[in-house]
């Protein structure tokens, strides 16, 4: 919606076709929208999407990698299929899409990529260890590529929001979080697109999130992970 508001034609993808088509119908009065349903967490999903986009023969000027999932609870209690699914979507799919479209952008000498990471990528998060590790990967990859792509006309940005009102966060039972710590999806999207168009490398939406990341940066790592572990031990498990 934010990109459409700014006049960008769209190619949108997600695994729920009905919601994609409803969104396309909503935005069709503003911009051209093409729908490509795909499950990026499934084996071969990224390759399927890449082939479908390439078949459109429409250059992709902006790539937004915002698909992701999270699981809370002890790592040793996770199901093997949940581990594979999180790694496939949060890490593998993002990496494959970034690699493919960055190559095309580099050849054209222009393009922008937005990777949605998280404030969780800046420090370990006990009880969400695998999710935080996947976002640390996204953040590190984005920062490294920002230097590799310097001078090519291609920029890459890591958007690092905190808790945001989305289906994923609601599924983790975050309703008890104070309102000032919870961002709206529209606010985060606006900041992300601003950062993307300004070719920023990292954007952390919200003063509270910025303060938390800055605080953690200057503390001993044992203290940060220890406090995280203390909080997780006194937080009821969520399903």
Helix (H, G, I), strand (E, B) or coil at 164: strand
* Cβ-Cβ contacts under 8 Å for 75 (sequence gap 6 or more): 129, 130
Burial class (CB in 10 A: 0-12, 13-18, 19+), 159: buried
Is residue 131 part of the annotated active site? The answer reads: yes
Q: Which 3-state string (H, E, C) describes 24-92?
A: HHHHCCCCCEEECCCCCCCCCHHHHHHHHHHHHCCCCCEEEECCCCCCCCCHHHCCHHHHHHHHHHHHH
Distance CA 62, CA 64 (A): 7
Q: In the chain, how long is the greatest CA-to-CA distance?
A: 53
**Catalytic annotation, pick one of 112, 131, 203, 228:** 131
- Active-site residues: which are they? 131
């Amino acid at each position: 919606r934010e990109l459409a508001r700014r006049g960008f034609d769209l190619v949108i993808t997600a695994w729920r076709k009905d919601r994609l088509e409803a969104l396309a119908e909503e935005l069709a009065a503003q911009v051209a929208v093409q729908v490509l349903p795909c499950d990026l967490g499934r084996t071969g999903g990224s390759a399927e999407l890449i082939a479908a986009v390439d078949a459109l023969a429409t250059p992709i000027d902006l790539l937004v990698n915002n698909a992701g999932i999270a699981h809370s609870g002890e790592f040793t209690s996770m199901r093997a299929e949940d581990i594979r699914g999180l790694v496939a979507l949060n890490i593998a799919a993002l990496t494959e899409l970034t690699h493919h479209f960055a190559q095309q952008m580099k050849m054209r000498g222009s393009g922008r990529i937005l990777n949605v990471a998280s404030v969780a990528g800046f420090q370990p998060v006990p009880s969400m260890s695998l999710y935080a590790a996947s976002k640390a990967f996204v953040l590190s990859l984005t920062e490294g590529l920002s230097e590799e792509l310097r001078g090519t006309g291609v920029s890459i940005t890591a958007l690092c929001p905190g808790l945001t009102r989305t289906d994923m966060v609601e599924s983790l039972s975050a309703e008890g979080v104070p309102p000032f710590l919870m961002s709206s999806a529209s606010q985060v999207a606006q900041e992300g697109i601003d950062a993307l168009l300004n070719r920023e490398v990292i954007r952390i939406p919200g003063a509270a999130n910025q303060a938390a990341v800055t605080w953690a940066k200057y503390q001993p790592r044992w203290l940060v992970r220890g406090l995280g572990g203390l909080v997780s031990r006194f937080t009821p498990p969520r399903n």
